[in-house]
Amino acid sequence: MEKIRKRAQRRSEQEQAELDQIISRAEQTRIMQGLYEGKPLFGSEGVFTELLQRMVNASLQGELDAFMKGQSRASGNRRNGVKEKQVRSTGGMLTVRTPRDREGEFEPQLIKNWERELTTGMDEIILSLYAKGHSVEDVQQHIREIYGVELSHSVITAITNRILPEISEWQNRPLHSCYPVLYLDGIYYKVRINGTFVTKVIYTCYGVGADGIRDVLGLYSSESESASAWGNVLEDLKRRGVEDVLIFCIDGLKGLREAIETAFPEATVQRCIVHMVRSSTQYVKDKDMHEVCADLKQIYQSATLDSAMIALETFRQKWDKYYPSIADKWEKEWDSLMAFMDYTTDIRRLIYTTNPVEAVHRVMRKVTKSKGAWISESALMKQLYLTLMHNKKSWNKNVFNWKSVQNELIEKYGERYSKHLI
């Protein structure tokens, strides 16, 4: 037992000696006192910020020591003082004293000469806060309160601007040659342009690839939602490699079906049932709403197209004297509303509504709903892109029961679909 006690004592004395080389006993006492007093660990008055600063400066001196050992005596190179600068870190602002050599050949690695941040994840923290819907002012305040670092508006903007090339690359990346299902929908935002706030629509293309994985193909900005603007979006998808889309799921935008037929003439167009129910019942009285919707459900939940026609006629006989426009609207859009009747339950469930792309929009709205407007279109696109990337698990996933869906697609479309499989 005595040997064990002495061995433990020697180990403790050795560890204390190693600690003393880094920080003095007085500083150790001061840090411990700060911990017991509940002072913050990091920040402008953090108990460990000064220690971090000393360790950084000691590391830089060690880098110069190693560099000078590699210099020949004949070179005449020698130390040449230090250059002081303020550096951001998650531990707070640090005063870094970078050592220099007379020939200017020494290049520090921990914090390079032009860098103003210790690579402790500050950029990632700022981007994460921005992705969660925080404004530049919110990010500024958060960093100040938590880390004791004062960042200017321009610095935060510059950090978020670093993802602009990444956004451009994402928007122009090559796409799969075939998408069995493609959902199209728009979402509106306010953006300041030339001192005036205007409404912008963001077009979202959300598709199911030939491998059954859902993906956001792109976000496109336009002045307003129109069939011609959607036509430009579809042409861009073709430019990026999309050769065929089997089924489009859309809302009731006038002219959109014709735009799709122009770009992808072989595609099936399915109009969203949920949108149709909502638009055709907007003038139904509250007391009748539940019953009307239940009767409409009998139409789109029919097993076959023939039974759906019978259900529509039954609905007409019951409700035409009160709401004659409802059955007329359904009959006018019958082909695009009932396109999903050509498929079995698994594909019907996948295409009868645009809810999947609206779920993507809910992810976007969750972090943007508190903002009235954006200072620029660039600021809006940065926030939407970061939001999508930070919530990728919610939309970049496999289609439920994909094997069954795939087998039906192969049976129905044959080589038109199968040739795109790896």
Digit-coded pLDDT (tens) for 402-421: 999 999 999 999 999 999 98
Q: Which residues pair with 179 in a beta bridge?
A: 245
Which of 191-215 are b and which e, b meaning 16 or more Cβ less than 10 Å from the residue's Cβ?
A: beeeeeeeebbbbbbbbbbbebebb
Q: Assess whether pLDDT exceeds 60 at residue 321.
A: yes
Q: Give the distance from CA 60 to its chain's centroid.
A: 37
Question: Helices 136-147 and 122-131 meet at what angle, rounded to 10?
Answer: 140
321-342 average pLDDT score: 94
Digit-coded pLDDT (tens) for 209-230: 999 999 999 999 988 888 899 9
- Using DSSP's 3-state secondary structure scheme, residue 82 falls into strand
Tell whether the torsion through CA atoms of 361, 221, 250 and 333 is positive or negative. positive
**Contacts for 119 with CB less than 8 Å, ≥ 6 apart:** none
Q: Quote the pLDDT of residue 413.
A: 95
- Domain spans of the chain, in order of start: 122-162, 177-418
Q: Assess whether pLDDT exceeds 90 at residue 302.
A: yes
CB atoms within 10 A of CB 260: 22
Digit-coded pLDDT (tens) for 42-76: 555 665 667 667 767 777 787 788 788 877 666 77
Beta strands in 133-280 (DSSP E): 178-193, 196-208, 214-222, 244-250, 268-271
165-177 average pLDDT score: 94
